[in-house]
């Protein structure tokens, strides 16, 4: 784990289950906390499994201008100009190799899973897929239908998302990781979404890229997330925060566990770590004297003492 430092220079935020609940509304406290962080010169970026165009409305709601990390870190775009209606400039893109995508589709079908693809800002599904209407509601005109998903696998694919009848088990996740070791990364972004990415791609890799670009030490980065796909970025930074709904392995990797999303827990952690830590240099010096354990315990006590 990276040694934590202050002041915070970069905040990386997951969206679903972290910033917003099922209502998809960014709360006032969250908007205010992010606005104050930006006013103080702290960079803030969304780091999500969504396509960049799907993440942009949330970035707009927060007034963000920094890059959007999309598709689990496989793609980064600059923010589009307001009102342009177009995706921002592509900063990097790490797609899967076609031969690996073909193998992923075969493996998914053998396991009773239905694969679909994301490529840049498009969702690609087989034309016989029964959930097409639901996908269209989610991505609008960014949906492409193909006669045979296995044939389309031979083309460029940013990531594969596999769905089953119910929630995926950890056994399936582990089996996929073992089978595709060195050829693809496998993660869960939601209990129903098993995702496959190019080797080395993760939100953690993307946060490292952002931090290098901004010249911010990883110890001075704050990252907040709620699922297995957030584990790497939570582990990479000095101030990794898991939502209380996160799986046990993700909470174990985090330095802090936030209050629930319904209580705008991410905003509370931004206030405590990024904003309070910035305002009180004397406290930072005292904490440095106590060491990492002292800093961590003090922040945990702060969360517990006021019942949040």
Task: Kindly state whether residues 188 and 281 are assigned to the same domain.
Answer: no
Walking along the chain (308 residues) 10 residues at a time, the average pLDDT comes out as: 93 98 97 98 98 94 97 96 83 98 97 95 92 79 94 97 87 96 96 95 98 98 98 98 97 98 98 84 38 37 36
Using CA atoms, how far apart are residues 41 and 105, in angstroms rounded to an integer? 44
Q: What is the CATH number of the domain that holds 171?
A: 3.30.1240.10
pLDDT reported for residue 129: 85
Task: Kindly state whether residues 144 and 267 are assigned to the same domain.
Answer: no
pLDDT reported for residue 82: 77
pLDDT reported for residue 134: 79
Between 281-290 and 292-305, two packed helices, what is the crossing angle to 10 degrees?
Answer: 120
Containing domain of residue 152, as a range? 98-197
Task: Kindly state whether residues 105 and 146 are assigned to the same domain.
Answer: yes
Is the separation of the CB atoms in 72 and 186 below 8 Å? Answer: no
pLDDT reported for residue 279: 57
Task: Kindly state whether residues 154 and 190 are assigned to the same domain.
Answer: yes
Helix (H, G, I), strand (E, B) or coil at 159: strand
Task: Kindly state whether residues 176 and 252 are assigned to the same domain.
Answer: no
Task: Kindly state whether residues 213 and 301 are assigned to the same domain.
Answer: yes
Domain boundary among 157, 175, 197: 197
Task: Kindly state whether residues 227 and 298 are assigned to the same domain.
Answer: yes
88: CB partners within 8 A, 6+ apart: 52, 56, 67, 68, 77, 78, 79, 80, 81
Task: Kindly state whether residues 82 and 211 are assigned to the same domain.
Answer: yes
Domain boundary among 145, 170, 197: 197
Q: What is the CATH number of the domain that holds 282?
A: 3.40.50.1000
5 within domain boundaries: no
2 within domain boundaries: no
């Amino acid at each position: 784990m990276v040694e934590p430092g202050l002041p915070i220079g970069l905040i990386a935020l997951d969206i679903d289950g972290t910033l917003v609940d099922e209502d998809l509304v960014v709360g006032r406290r969250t908007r205010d906390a992010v606005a104050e962080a930006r006013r103080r010169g702290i960079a803030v970026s969304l780091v999500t499994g969504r396509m960049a165009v799907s993440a942009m409305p949330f970035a707009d709601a927060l007034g963000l201008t920094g890059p959007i990390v999309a598709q689990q870190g496989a793609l980064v775009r600059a923010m589009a100009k307001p009102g342009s209606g177009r995706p921002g400039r592509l900063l990097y893109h790490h797609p899967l190799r076609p031969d690996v995508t073909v193998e992923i589709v075969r493996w998914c079908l053998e396991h009773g899973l239905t694969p679909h693809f994301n490529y840049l800002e498009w969702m690609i599904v087989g034309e016989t897929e029964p959930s097409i209407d639901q996908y269209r509601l989610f991505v609008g005109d960014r949906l492409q239908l193909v006669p045979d998903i296995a044939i389309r696998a031979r083309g460029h694919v940013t990531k594969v998302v596999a769905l089953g009848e119910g929630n995926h088990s950890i056994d399936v996740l582990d089996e996929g990781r073992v089978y595709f070791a060195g050829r693809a990364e496998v993660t869960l972004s939601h209990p129903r979404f098993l995702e496959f990415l190019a080797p080395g791609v993760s939100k953690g890799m993307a946060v490292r890229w952002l931090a290098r670009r901004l010249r911010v030490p990883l110890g001075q980065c704050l990252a907040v997330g709620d699922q297995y796909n957030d584990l790497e970025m939570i582990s990479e930074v000095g101030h990794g925060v898991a939502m209380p709904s996160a799986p046990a392995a993700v909470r174990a990797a985090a330095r802090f566990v936030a209050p629930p999303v319904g209580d705008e827990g991410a905003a509370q952690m931004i206030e405590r770590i990024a904003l309070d830590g910035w305002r009180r240099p004397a406290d930072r010096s005292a904490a440095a004297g106590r060491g990492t354990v002292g800093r961590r315990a003090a922040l945990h006590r702060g969360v517990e003492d006021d019942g949040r």
